[in-house]
Amino acid sequence: MSGELDVYLAGRHIATLTSTSNRRVVELTWLQEADVGDIRLSESFAQIVGLSPDKQRLSRFLGGYLPEGQQRAAMAKHRGIAADDLFGFLREYGGSLAGALAFRKADDQPHYELLTPKKLARAFREASARWNQGLRDDSRSMIPGFQPKVLVTKLDDGRWYQPHGGAHSTHILKPPRKDAVARLYDELYAHELARHMGLASFHSEIRKVAGESYLAIERYDRRQRDGVVEVIHQEDAAQVLGLDWTSDAVKFQNQDRPNDRSHASAGAIAEALVALDSDPLQGWLRQLTFRVLIGDNDGHAKNVSIMHLPGEDRLADLYDAVPNLFQPGRVDFTLALSVNRVFDHRNLTRDHLEREAAAWGGLSPRAISTTVDDVFGRFEAALEAVPFPLQGSPDVVAALRRTLERLRTGKTIGQYA
C-alpha cells in the first residue's frame, strides 16, 4: 500500500511524495501550480517542475536528512519502522529537517512546550540513553548525525521550548557528558576561533542544567523573528555528491581506494562547489586548512554544507570542527578526508595543503598561497584574542600553536606529546 506526503519548501507547497515498493526509494511529483521560486532544491539533480526527478538521486538526497547509526536505529524502533524505510522516516520525523524542506501530514499540529530545567534534564537523559534526540511521542523533527543531541527552540522570551509536531527548532543542544565535560568546552573554543576568523557566525555557549554543563548551538539554517521560526534551505556535501544514505562509511574517503567515487573526498567536494557563488574554492580551502590546524579528524562530507538562498547558492558556515586529535586518549590520527592523498594528520605539511587545492583547478598558485597565509595569520590572531576555557582539555592551545608553527615553516605536523 502506497502512502503520500505533502512536500513544502520554505513554507510553499510544491510537490507530493509517494512511497514505492522499495522502502529505500521514494518518488516526487511536482504540483502543476508549484512555485519553487528561485531556491534550488538540490545540487544533485535537475529541478524541472513538471518532470519528476530521478527516484534514486532523489532518494539519496532525502535520505541524507536522516539520523545516522545508532540514532537512526533507535528512532526507527521507537516508531515501529525499519531503519532503512525512507518514506517511513519522512512520515514520522519529516515535519522539520535540516534546511527548508518539510513533509506534512493532514493531522500535524505544530506547537511548543516550555522546557523547565527538570524537563530539559529528562530530555538529555533520554537522548543519551535512548539515542532518540530527546523527542516526544508526537514530535516530527530529526537531524543528521551520530552524537546524542536535543532539538529545542528559543523564542522571544529567551527560554527553551520543545517543538511538537512539525514545529521547527532553532538550536541544537549537546547533552552533559560526565566522562568528557572538557570536550564540550573544547568544541566551544573551536567555535570561538572560527567566529573570530570569519569562518562562522552562529552563536554558541555553555549553559548548565541540574549543575551540569551542556553546549547550546544556534542553527545557521534557522531565523527566529517575532515568535516565528523561518527556515533556510541547505544540504550537506554527502547529499550533493549523491552518496548512499544507508551507509555510515561513504561520508569518509576510502583509504584503500582514494579515487572511489562512491565515497567522499576533498577533491570531489571541491568539484561540486565550483558552480557556487562567492569564491567557493577559496572558502573550502579556508575550512580545510582550519580543520587541519585544530586537529579535527572528523571533517567528513556531512560536516560541509551548501546554503540554498533565493537566487544564491554558497558554502555554509564552518561547523562541527573540534580539536579531537589534541584531546586526551586519542590514538587514531586518520583524517576523514585526505589532503593530497595523506590521511595521517601527523604527516601533513603546508605543501600538502597547497597541492591538494591545486589539484582542484580553478585557483592560481598565488591565490592558494595567499589564502593559506591568510588562514594562518587569522588563526594566530584568534589564538591571541580568544581565551581558552579553564574547563577545556589540557595543552590544547600549546598543541595548536605548535601545529601552526610547524606548518608555517614547512615541517610535518608530527605528534604532540
Look at residue 354 and tell me whether its pLDDT is greater than 70.
Answer: yes
Orientation angle between helical segments 365-385 and 181-196, nearest 10 degrees: 120
With CA atoms as reference, report the closest residue to 230 among 58, 11, 18: 11
Per-residue pLDDT band at 131 (split at 50, 70, 90): confident
DSSP assigned state of 283:
H
Please say whether the beta carbons of 14 and 48 come within 8 A.
Answer: no
The pLDDT tens digits for 361-404 are 999 999 999 999 999 999 999 999 999 999 999 999 999 999 99
CB 106 within 8 A of CB 13: no
Q: Which amino acid is at 276?
A: L
CA pair distance 166, 92, nearest whole angstrom: 10
Render pLDDT for 56-76 as a digit per residue (tens, 0 to 9).
999 999 999 999 998 999 999
Q: Where are the beta strands (DSSP E) in 80-178?
A: 101-104, 111-114, 150-154, 160-164, 171-174
* DSSP assigned state of 320: S
The band of 246, judged by pLDDT with boundaries at 50, 70 and 90, is: very high
Contacts of 211 (CB under 8 A, 6+ apart): none
Q: How confident is the model at residue 36 (pLDDT cuts 50, 70, 90)?
A: low
CA atoms of 349 and 355, how far apart (whole Å): 10
- More confident site: 109 or 11: 11
Question: DSSP characters for 219-271?
Answer: -TTEEEETTEEEE-EEEEHHHHTT--TT-SSTTS--SS-TT-TTS--HHHHHH
- Separation of alpha carbons 9 and 7, rounded Å: 7
Which band of pLDDT confidence, cut at 50, 70 and 90, is reported for residue 2? low
295 DSSP assignment: T
Residue 117: CB partners within 8 Å, gap ≥ 6? Answer: 209, 210
The answer to whether 328 and 393 are in contact (CB under 8 A) is yes
How high does pLDDT run on average in the chain? 93
pLDDT, tens digit (0-9, with 9 covering 90-100), for 284-316: 999 999 999 999 999 999 999 999 999 899 999
Per-residue pLDDT, 39: 84
Write out the H or E segment, with its range, that includes residue 5.
Answer: strand 4-9
- At residue 173, the pLDDT reads 96
| Average pLDDT rounded to a whole number, residues 71-95 | 94
Which sequence spans correspond to the domains of the chain?
4-104, 111-225, 234-408
Return the percentage of the chain with pLDDT > 90, whole number.
Answer: 76
Q: What end-to-end distance do the CA atoms of the chain give, in Å?
A: 60
Contact status, residue 38 vs residue 50, Cβ threshold 8 Å? no
One DSSP character per residue, 36-50 reads -TT--S-SSS---TT
Phi, psi values for residue 328, rounded to 5°: -60, 145
pLDDT of residue 1: 45
- Cell numbers 539519496: residue: 60
